[in-house]
Structure 1
């Protein structure tokens, strides 16, 4: 092979490699920029509480309902709009201290929105939409309920978010590094049993650290000290991963990779908040049940 020919091949190979590196780096850069822009806004609203958290949850709840309805109805406009509007207004009513009206509106929306899909829609799609309206709406109300708890609201949602984030990070790290048998191939091909264990371990570790740093967390959740909070963290991690799998099943049903392209580099709101939605609902219901026994 001539020297000129060799240099030409090397130049082409180098250009191809550089394009490949740029293709790999570009999505990561987009994800990082999106996170740097959104995280301060979201965490700031949660920290300030009150109307700031209310407005955030109205927007997020309506957005998630829009994505869920678009997936379940294959984009049927009127049903999607009604689902998003019903959930958003329901959260607004709760924020205005009208919980009964909020619950009634969510139930009404769950009945009306599926009826607007059209005659060609199957029963399964209608049930998915109705369930999604109630599930997402109730989870958002539960999150507001937790944040509004006197004196401990910020601690509760801080612990909740830390557990969900730790679960996601631990599951990803363990799954990537250890591999092993798949968890539910037909629902989410990338998830492994090692990832499940890694997520649980991370959630327990974070719960122990938070409970040791803030002893009032055990009192706020009526759990027996650090050990009780650790067990609760593990259970919430299981719930969060179940929420993740639920959204994966929904996307797999319609052949979608992401719930939407709303957040550059991250997909949709559901893609980012699926585990937090499930964990928020379960924690809020648990504390409500404990309150009823006092």
Structure 2
């Protein structure tokens, strides 16, 4: 009887932050897609708003660092600006820009969703317990598989698997790096830019890591052809 009573609570606890993730996605995804589809100055303005927001968060995080804080503050510039420039450059490509950024965002978002769902359902061995106790090896593999499937479907064939795999792995590394930074600073969230749901770095860590790699892949693909060609 007791096991039957506690099991639903346990399952509910596994997905206790699902509401936060859903609410964040409901705000960020439509805004990002609108700016991306519009392109031009709308996309540039949206990127600028995100950069300013992230730099404000970084400045607030610096208060958790013992002085002098100059090195930490300066490190925030490339962390926010390099991915921003990568996203701008990708979108500027006249024939492939929209597809490349959509490919990037789709792979990163579905990697994150897949890792979350598979990790909560399957559980098992922790991926990096000293950095992020909630992440599991099963979740990382599940996120990778789902990210690769998303890339393959978007690209219309198996050529999408390899770039999707690269971006999926890099995005998960970015997620872990941001978790390690927060643990080092002793904070739960990077900020409160999204009220009740944390900061921009919390929600964009995978994109921040994967965007420069996506730009590099596009540049290597004969100067900006679709990532999967």
Give the TM-score range, shorter chain. 0.7 to 0.9
Change (3 A) 1:37 1:166: closer
Correspondence for 1:183: 127
Aligned residues of 2:126 and 2:134 also touching (Cα < 8 A): yes
Match of 1:286 among 197, 217, 222: 217
Aligned residues of 1:71 and 1:250 also touching (Cα < 8 A): no
Correspondence for 1:247: 178
Correspondence for 1:41: 31
Tell me by how many angstroms 1:135 deviates. Answer: 2.5
Largest Rg, 1 or 2: 1
1 or 2 for the larger relative contact order (CA 8 Å, sep ≥6)?
A: 2
Correspondence for 1:161: 105
Change (3 A) 1:27 1:167: closer
TM (norm. structure 2) is 0.83
Q: 2: distance between equivalents of 1:27 and 1:193?
A: 19
TM (norm. structure 1) is 0.65
Cα shift readout 1:177-211 (whole Å, capped 9, x = no counterpart) = 11111111111111111111001000111011101
SS in 1 for 2:127: strand
Correspondence for 1:271: 202
Q: 1: distance between equivalents of 2:19 and 2:135?
A: 24
SS in 2 for 1:186: coil
Change (3 A) 1:28 1:240: closer
Q: 1: distance between equivalents of 2:20 and 2:151?
A: 31
Change (3 A) 1:209 1:243: same
Tell me by how many angstroms 1:36 deviates. Answer: 3.6
SS in 1 for 2:133: strand
Aligned residues of 1:162 and 1:206 also touching (Cα < 8 A): yes
Q: 1: distance between equivalents of 2:46 and 2:172?
A: 24
Unaligned runs of 5+ in 2: 1-15
Tell me by how many angstroms 1:167 deviates. Answer: 0.4
SS in 1 for 2:124: coil
Q: Cα RMSD (Å) of the superposition?
A: 2.6
Number of positions where the alignment pairs a residue of Structure 1 with one of Structure 2: 211
